[in-house]
Amino acid sequence: MAIEPFTPSANASLLTWVGDAVSLCEPDDVHWCDGSTEEYEHLCGLLVDAGTFEPLARPNSYLARSHPGDVARVEDRTFICSRSPRDAGPTNNWRDPAEMRTSLEERFAGVMRGRTMYVVPFSMGPLGSPASRLGVQVTDSPYAVVSMRWMTRMGTPALEALDAGADFVPCLHSIGAPGDTSPWPCDEDKCIVHFPETREIWSYGSGYGGNALLGKKCLALRIASVMARDEGWLAEHMLILKLTSPEGTVKYLAAAFPSACGKTNLAMLAPTLPGWRVETIGDDIAWMRFDDEGRLRAINPEAGLFGVAPGTGTATNPNALAALAGNAIFTNCARTDDGDVWWEGMTIEPPAHAIDWRGEHWTPGSGRPAAHPNARFTVASAQAPTMAAEWEDPAGVPIDAIVFGGRRSTVVPLVQEAHDWEHGVFLGSIMGSETTAAAAGERGRLRRDPFAMLPFCGYDMGDYFAHWLRIGRREGAHLPRIFSVNWFRKSESGWLWPGFGDNVRVLEWIHRRCDGAALAVDTPIGLLPTSLNVDGLSVDLDALLRVDRDGWLGEIELIRDFYASLGDTLPTELQRQLDTLRKGLRCR
Ligand code: SAT
Ligand code: MN
């Protein structure tokens, strides 16, 4: 058989872009990824040799310990470089695109000397779906390559689509720190940069998840949100689940929660109510567009799970544990003496001894967590036992309900339905959450996180709200109903709601509302359940479902300040919703 000369791609603009990246970064070698098992195993072998990966006692699985300063997204080093600062808006860090490009070129110059450059073609969304988008990541991080293999559809099929001339989002990534050969090289000077007009991503200095797996937050949210605004669809930080009632009626829900508020757990929920079934379409990102019948259809652009490990246990998410039985990458978890991983909440009894995420000896009661609070697992979605048969349907699934949630110990009720679409957009815009470990910074502080998109919206937040309002005005649309939920209410003695599998009781009400079956009472804050199935639970439903009038009046002041901080692009409809809420609460 004749050996063909190696031509990496027939896509001229791809070849030019990669050629430019090679001239800039000066790698020793260039490898075009095909996504094969052999390639994956070879790269894992390199990572083991470099000390980045330790093989685990579960099949084909590895533990990585990151540099202790590279454990989460870096929001203060994330930039939106639109031509005008107005288009990035007050919630994003804006930089002038030309100036940023110059400073990036300085950082990337020669950065890959002594390293291999990997060219990673990938598809966000099922290959060939009109809703999908292609990207190509160039990186010097084999950890990013093997992670991208689980998180996206990566390799030859994506390259073939590019050969046919498809557009792609160029994603240039380097861990920085030229010459550093430690197990987890990274640079103190990190920057995660988006050029929304030219649809480009440049990421420097970090090997961690959302900073380095550029198909995820950078492409599928920040850049895709801009594409969606321009093309009339929605790119959202939402899980997608399929909920089947005991009678066999199916509803599809898309739900937005800030990072580390239990999206993965909800998407894989093991219901405590007999006859109910939850299946997973996606756990983090939803791309939604109208079909010919005017229904919003959602695809999951990702192919893998990048979940928070701590708190994932037999009681909270047995399905995630089942997904992790093999072929998994664990980052910043602890290692047990029998060569497996452990994290807080995985088992009730901690191991008697472990090596913690920093590589130090650990025993229970040492006062330090064994796993970093933002330790993560990376695994193909297909391994989760809860994936719905249609999770990769190129046409997507029709969304019946949109749910907004956050981590709020006070004020916000367990569940409510919006009066209408505009009120639903209002509920999305006022979302707030007590902060978690998913982003660097202080924890437990209330932060407004509209639509859970604060760190992920690639353009002005007021314009984003206006886009949502526009979607609701589309002629002939059969819009989903909109709900808000809050599993995290507390009293002095602890949690008011058991959460996890019992959240199906709230999903049941949402399901029945979609059929017009469940009853609700109209209040100024929204439509609240008249009853909820709490058989077998001892919970204070009155506390969970009451309108906390004083709490809301205080909340209104906070929302007013937040709205003021968004500037004059805030749609007047939302200001009006806030006034209506205030009047409604005052005259009760
Ligand atoms: O690191 S990621 O941004 O992918 C995880 C998250 O913060 O949701
Ligand atoms: Mn997320």
Question: What pLDDT is attached to residue 126?
Answer: 98
Looking at the fold, whether 415 and 527 belong to one and the same domain comes out as: yes
Look at residue 431 and tell me if it is in a domain: yes
Look at residue 260 and tell me if it is in a domain: yes
How much distance in Å is there from the Cα of 459 to the middle of ligand 2?
18
Query: Phi and psi for 549 in degrees, rounded to 5?
Result: -60, -50
Last residue of some domain: 383, 412, 428? 383
Looking at the fold, whether 169 and 187 belong to one and the same domain comes out as: yes
Using CA atoms, how far apart are residues 330 and 346, in angstroms rounded to an integer? 13
Looking at the fold, whether 143 and 292 belong to one and the same domain comes out as: no
Looking at the fold, whether 107 and 192 belong to one and the same domain comes out as: yes
Asked about 186 being catalytic, the answer comes back as no
Our answer on whether the CB atom of 259 is closer than 6 Å to any ligand 1 atom is yes
Question: What pLDDT is attached to residue 90?
Answer: 98
Question: What pLDDT is attached to residue 1?
Answer: 47
- Structural domain count of the chain: 3
Take residue 444 and report the two structure tokens written for it: 């437990």
Place of tokens 């979302």: 431
Last residue of some domain: 327, 348, 383? 383
Put residue 89 in one of left, alpha, beta given phi > 0 → left and psi -120 to 50 → alpha.
left
30 DSSP assignment: E
CA distances from 400 to 338, 403, 581 (A): 46, 10, 26
CA distances from 333 to 26, 47, 58, 438, 584 (A): 34, 17, 14, 15, 49
Looking at the fold, whether 291 and 319 belong to one and the same domain comes out as: no
Which residues are placed with Cβ below 5 angstroms of ligand 2, an ion? 259, 284
**Domain containing residue 244: CATH number:** 3.90.228.20
Looking at the fold, whether 428 and 371 belong to one and the same domain comes out as: no
DSSP collapsed to 3 states, 239-260: EEEEEECCCCCEEEEEEECCCC
State the catalytic residue, choosing from 261, 333, 457, 514.
261
Closest approach atom of ligand 1 to CA 438:
7
Q: Do 335 and 54 meet the contact criterion of CB atoms below 8 Å apart?
A: yes
Q: Which of 169, 85, 71 is nearest to 120 (CA)?
A: 169
Looking at the fold, whether 18 and 101 belong to one and the same domain comes out as: yes
pLDDT tens per residue, range 478-487? 999 999 999 9
Residues of the chain with pLDDT under 50: 1
Question: What pLDDT is attached to residue 70?
Answer: 98
Helix (H, G, I), strand (E, B) or coil at 232: coil
Looking at the fold, whether 343 and 455 belong to one and the same domain comes out as: no
Question: What pLDDT is attached to residue 262?
Answer: 87
CA distances from 239 to 257, 258, 382, 401 (A): 8, 11, 15, 12
Looking at the fold, whether 270 and 210 belong to one and the same domain comes out as: no
**Domain containing residue 125: CATH number:** 3.40.449.10
Looking at the fold, whether 326 and 375 belong to one and the same domain comes out as: yes
Look at residue 280 and tell me if it is in a domain: yes
- Which residues constitute the domain of residue 30? 12-49+75-231
Our answer on whether the CB atom of 209 is closer than 6 Å to any ligand 1 atom is yes
Q: Which of 355, 347, 352 is nearest to 309 (CA)?
A: 347
Look at residue 578 and tell me if it is in a domain: no
Question: What pLDDT is attached to residue 444?
Answer: 72
Q: Do 440 and 74 meet the contact criterion of CB atoms below 8 Å apart?
A: yes
| Nearest CA, atom 5, ligand 1 | 210
Looking at the fold, whether 442 and 537 belong to one and the same domain comes out as: yes
Last residue of some domain: 214, 231, 248? 231
> CB atoms < 10 A from the CB of 548, how many?
17
Looking at the fold, whether 394 and 450 belong to one and the same domain comes out as: yes
Question: What pLDDT is attached to residue 588?
Answer: 60
- Computed from CA positions of residues 277, 281, 287, 292, in that sequence, does the dihedral angle turn out positive or negative? negative
Q: Do 308 and 376 meet the contact criterion of CB atoms below 8 Å apart?
A: yes
